[in-house]
Amino acid sequence: QVQLQESGPGLVRPSQTLSLTCTVSGSSMTGGGYYWNWIRQRPGKGLEWIGSVSYSGSTFYNPSLRSRLTISMDTSENHFSLKLSSVTAADTAVYYCAAGGYGDYADWGQGTLVTVSS
């Protein structure tokens, strides 16, 4: 089983860049065929897949966020990151990192609330 922990600022100003890191333990990021994902839940809404980075470093993005989104991985630090630029209040959400095979997110972080506000 993989353990995941999100970290990053809980408050981001509008128009700034939201940056989060997910630290991975219990597995190598390049072994096991894992996909490393970011998923969010806006207040009162359902889950939304943001994007992922594969064990080989390939990235995949939600088309609705693609223009503002960068997901990367640092295998030396065993973590992967999310950067979402030009944020607005609509980006306020609980952000989860999750890992698993192709589309089955078997392991999740506890989630971190990010509020976009001035």
Partner 1 sequence: QSALTQPASVSGSPGQSITISCTGTSSDVGKYYLVSWYQHHPGKAPKLIIYEDSKRPSGLSNRFSGSKSGNTASLTISGLQIEDEADYYCSSYAGSGTWVFGGGTKLTVL
Q: Which residues bind partner 1 (CB under 8 A)?
A: 39, 46-49, 52, 58, 60-64, 96, 98, 100-106, 108-111
Number of Cβ atoms within 10 Å of the Cβ of 50: 21
What's the CA gap between 46 and 42, in Å, rounded? 7
Q: Which is nearer to partner 1, 23 or 108 (CB)?
A: 108
The CB-of-110 to partner 1 minimum distance in angstroms stands at 6
What's the CA gap between 12 and 18, in Å, rounded? 6
The CB-of-67 to partner 1 minimum distance in angstroms stands at 14
Q: Which is nearer to partner 1, 63 or 118 (CB)?
A: 63
Q: Which is nearer to partner 1, 38 or 116 (CB)?
A: 38
Instruction: Please enumerate in sequence order all residues whose Cβ is within 8 A of that of 31, keeping only pairs 6 or more positions apart, or say none.
Output: 55
